[in-house]
Structure 1
Amino acid sequence: MKVRGRIVLTIANPQTIDIIYASLIPETQDQPSYRSKSSIEKLPGRIVLAIEARDLVSFRAAVNSYLRLISVLIRVLSELD
């Protein structure tokens, strides 16, 4: 069973979008697990992260990893402001 999902980040600041996008690209290109795949797309005002996994456990692990990374990026950027 394949599981698919999308995370859409709506961000007002274009510079923040660029930083988060640039930080997530390496994670989507060099994926250590064969159990899940992800891709990222930058659109005006938002970032779309698509995740596909072979099973629910792998999907949940991938989503949690990306959400943790995004959370850290947002916290660091807010401290720099």
Structure 2
Amino acid sequence: MRRATITFAGPDAGVVYESLRPEAGRDVPKARVSLRAARGRVTLTIDADDTSALRAAVNSYLRWADIAARVRREVTS
């Protein structure tokens, strides 16, 4: 079992949490995802069966988080 833990903090944390929350509850092939929010921080934990599945899940969630943060910045600017 492989694990990655990623923490998001700052003004984008809330929108990242709300954007990733629906995805975190879904089953991903070979991976399990949990999402926690506390004190202005969001912690994403991904457990995967192997390194390839972990890499794929991390890439997807980071891409979605980046898109959510960029949209928030564009809308508020």
Aligned equivalent of 1:49: 44
Q: CA deviation at 1:5?
A: 1.2
CA distance in 1, matches of 2:59, 2:72: 20
Aligned residues: 76
Structure 2 gaps, min length 5: none
Alignment of 1:10-25 (within 5 A): 10-11=9-10, 13=11, 16-25=12-21
Letter in 1 for 2:16: I
Identity over the aligned pairs, expressed in percent? 34
* SS of residue in 2 equivalent to 1:31: coil
Please tell me whether residue 66 in structure 1 is matched to residue 65 in structure 2. Answer: no
Letter in 2 for 1:9: F
Q: Is 2:46–2:57's contact at 8 Å kept on the other side of the alignment?
A: yes
CA distance in 2, matches of 1:32, 1:5: 15
TM-score, normalised relative to structure 2: 0.90
Structure 1 gaps, min length 5: none
The farther-off stretch of 17-26 and 63-72 is 17-26
Q: CA deviation at 1:10?
A: 1.1
Aligned equivalent of 2:26: 30
TM-score, normalised relative to structure 1: 0.86
CA RMSD of aligned residues (A): 1.1
Q: CA deviation at 1:32?
A: 3.6
